[in-house]
Amino acid sequence: MTSFAKLKSNRAQRDVNRSVVQTNKPHEAATNLDHGGGSTDELSSVASPDTSQISLDLPQQSHSESSRGALLPFGLDVRIGELQGRGVWSCDPRRTGQLILSEVQMVACISTRYLPTYCSACFLETEDKPLKRCTSCKLVYYCNSECQTRDWVLHKRECSALQNWAANAPQDSSNGGEGEEPGTVVPSDAIRTLGRVLWRRQKKGRESTWAKEMDALQSHRASLSADQHSSELHTHMAHALVRYLGAESIKDLAAYAIDSITALVDLVSQFTTNAFAVTDPSLTPIGVSLSPTIAIFNHSCDPNAVLVFPRAQHRSPKEEPMVEVVVIRDIAVDEEIFISYIDSTLPRDQRQEALKATYNFTCNCPLCSKPRERDSYVDPREGLYCPKKCGGVCWLPTEENPLTCCTKCGAVVKDTDAVLDAVRIGQEALDKATRLQFSDTPKATQLTTNLIPILMSAGLLPSSHPLLALSRLHTTLLIANYRSPFESTTIELNSPQIQEQHQVSPDAKVSSEEAQEHLDEAIRSATRTCNALNQILPYGHPIRGLAVAELGKLLSVDEPSPKHLAEDDTLSPSSPHLLSPTSQQFAKAPPYPPSGPQRLKLAYDTLVRARGELMIGFGAGKNEGGKVGMEVRKSLVDIEKELGVWKEGIRNAAADLPKVNMR
Ligand SMILES: C[S@@+](CC[C@H](N)C(=O)[O-])C[C@H]1O[C@@H](n2cnc3c(N)ncnc32)[C@H](O)[C@@H]1O
């Protein structure tokens, strides 16, 4: 991360990769790789098999009775709760930053959009060399033939299924049919992952512990018929899976131990209830995974553990992709371990909606159970500053509950309509900007730029939704579109693959002043985001650690034009002796962000903090705070060297000054 030059050259390399012309080699098992990303839309289309006999005519079924958890490591216990079903409990006390479990992902898929960017075997991002593409399906990419060979056990089945799917795609499949990614002839991530589940189960055998644990996963099939939307979704997925497996009817699925519609829908429901997103080191979702061990952990909106994919660089690419559970709050003996299934920075209503829609339950965690009362604690995710600015806060008004007042001084918020309007248009702008972030970045940035001040002047706390979400997106957009006046490249921070998809003209030139203002605005936005996240997430939460790392990296970017310094040449880097604390500069409030060596020092301090947080959220020890934690460590070493040069300069200059009598 310190080396932006390297990151820039990686980006350039990726740009080259994208334009490499595809070379079709003859198909050879486990070595059928090529480079580049040709399109698949020339594939022919034939009628798909008839699966129309599948419908959700379901008998009532109860939740799986199993409580095995046979794959959990020593020190973890599976217990069954009345409301939540099985859950994982700790037999030992555990400290923040401790690794609870670490396991190879046996069944995982890279999302279609990221297939050319991440190896489908080790899940590492292409950095120095282009990934190589399977010449048969022309969809799945690997680092090299070793990775391909390792994945071949599943991909050999997947490869033909993908080809059959494409060959049988309906003529209008470019608009995306059921279970398909829109605009492609590729089945959805869910269907591809389900295919891998079935092939893995065949490989391991029905009686294997893994297969039994998979069979024991919770399914919500019994309650599906009550919810039309879920029922339709599950029916579509079941149809798509049958087609993907090349089956004509349910009888053809006997080889996969599926002998009835009930079993098929159970499988689909087990997937929707238990699958989790695979993320890259910056927590960007890049794929889908299903694990019978991870699936036993229950949810809390204020969890004591997190799921991460640390991806420390020192790991050999030969290693399988690991998923890990790390403690983010101390856990006592006999305490249940919870992770969060959703974005826990959202307000209660949105969290509940997301959990109900996907996991079919109403959350009663301590955060969701806190009463929303006049004198009660105000959740910073949905708070407003006191209208009298007494230092207290109020709950954000809602349509159902428009009356709100300060919990400290009792001042009533009068213009609740204005606040409700601001929140509504803020949410609309957030939804639109999120949709447009890759296709129309300037428009998305314009939306975040316009809406943040409106929500701030309506009195929302920076941690309130949708202000925090807009600030996070604003920071991402500013980083993605930063252009140095010296080079026609962007800087890369935590999410290179996001940047890759933003539309930035490589020839666009910016002036030093524009670049400086852009960078400073990104720093201010990142600072606002960090402060807001600190209010709602515990120290060491990976989202916090990454946000602080991002701020530190922004502060450490060389300023394109040292504006503040240039305006006052007494502060120019060539006269460092005038940076003494008695300088006039400190008589007035220092500007934010600062400039010159103060900025570098602030970058250093911020990165030290980031490293501390990352060492918790992504685990210490061999994880070293994950890939970003290791990058931060490298940055710190580089900045220490740079600061050393400054200190040396100051010492030399001070030695030349006339001696002053201090008494
Ligand atoms: C990934 S599974 C977790 C393990 C599950 N309890 C079991 O028995 O296998 C997700 C399901 O567990 C239940 N669950 C998880 N967290 C819960 C919570 N906080 N409250 C109620 N139910 C919960 C829901 O039924 C949800 O669909």
3-class DSSP assignment, residue 483: strand
ipTM of the assembly? 1.00
**Band (510; pLDDT cuts 50, 70, 90):** confident
Which ligand 1 atom lies nearest to the CA of residue 273? Answer: 27
Gap from CA of 312 to ligand 1 centroid (Å): 30
Residue identifier of the C-alpha nearest atom 21 of ligand 1: 84
Q: SS3 sequence, 149-179?
A: HHHHHHHHHHHHHHHHHHHCCCHHHHHCCCC
Give mean pLDDT, residues 514-531: 94
Mean pLDDT, the chain, as a whole number? 81
Ligand 1 pocket test, pick from 298, 300, 368, 369 with the greatest ligand atom count within 8 Å of Cβ, gives 298
The predicted structure's pLDDT at residue 287:
96
The C-alpha atoms of residue 35 and residue 320 are separated, in whole angstroms, by: 22
pLDDT at 576 over 60: no
Q: What share of the chain is helix, strand, coil (3-state, %, to 5)?
A: 45, 10, 45
Neighbours of 96 (CB within 10 A): 20
The C-alpha atoms of residue 462 and residue 524 are separated, in whole angstroms, by: 13
The C-alpha atoms of residue 226 and residue 566 are separated, in whole angstroms, by: 68
- Which two tokens mark 322? 């690991």
Neighbours of 246 (CB within 10 A): 14
pLDDT at 571 over 50: no
Gap from CA of 218 to ligand 1 centroid (Å): 8
pLDDT digits (tens, 9 = 90+) for 317-351: 456 788 999 999 999 999 999 999 999 999 999 99
Gap from CA of 222 to ligand 1 centroid (Å): 15
Lowest mean pLDDT among 170-174, 185-189, 242-246, 574-578: 574-578
**Band (574; pLDDT cuts 50, 70, 90):** very low
As beta bridge partners, residue 88 has 78, 337
Answer positive or negative: Cα dihedral of 473, 479, 483, 489.
Answer: negative
Gap from CA of 231 to ligand 1 centroid (Å): 19
The predicted structure's pLDDT at residue 500:
52
The predicted structure's pLDDT at residue 46:
26
The C-alpha atoms of residue 572 and residue 585 are separated, in whole angstroms, by: 12
**Band (659; pLDDT cuts 50, 70, 90):** low
pLDDT digits (tens, 9 = 90+) for 74-93: 899 999 988 899 999 999 99
The predicted structure's pLDDT at residue 156:
96
The predicted structure's pLDDT at residue 316:
55
pLDDT digits (tens, 9 = 90+) for 589-598: 678 899 888 8
Which ligand 1 atom lies nearest to the CA of residue 276? Answer: 1
- Protein residues whose CB sits closer than 6 Å to any atom of ligand 1: 83-87, 218, 273-274, 295-296, 298-300, 359-361, 363, 365
pLDDT at 50 over 50: no
| Residues sharing a CB contact under 8 Å with residue 645, sequence separation 6 or more, in sequence order | none
**Band (71; pLDDT cuts 50, 70, 90):** confident
- Beta strand 108-110 with 85-90: parallel, antiparallel or unpaired? unpaired
As beta bridge partners, residue 285 has 279
Give mean pLDDT, residues 49-68: 41
Gap from CA of 298 to ligand 1 centroid (Å): 5
| Residues sharing a CB contact under 8 Å with residue 125, sequence separation 6 or more, in sequence order | 117, 118, 280, 496, 497
Residue identifier of the C-alpha nearest atom 19 of ligand 1: 299
Ligand 1 pocket test, pick from 359, 363, 365 with the greatest ligand atom count within 8 Å of Cβ, gives 359
**Band (630; pLDDT cuts 50, 70, 90):** very high
Ligand 1 pocket test, pick from 65, 76, 84 with the greatest ligand atom count within 8 Å of Cβ, gives 84
Lowest mean pLDDT among 170-174, 260-264, 343-347: 170-174
The predicted structure's pLDDT at residue 451:
98
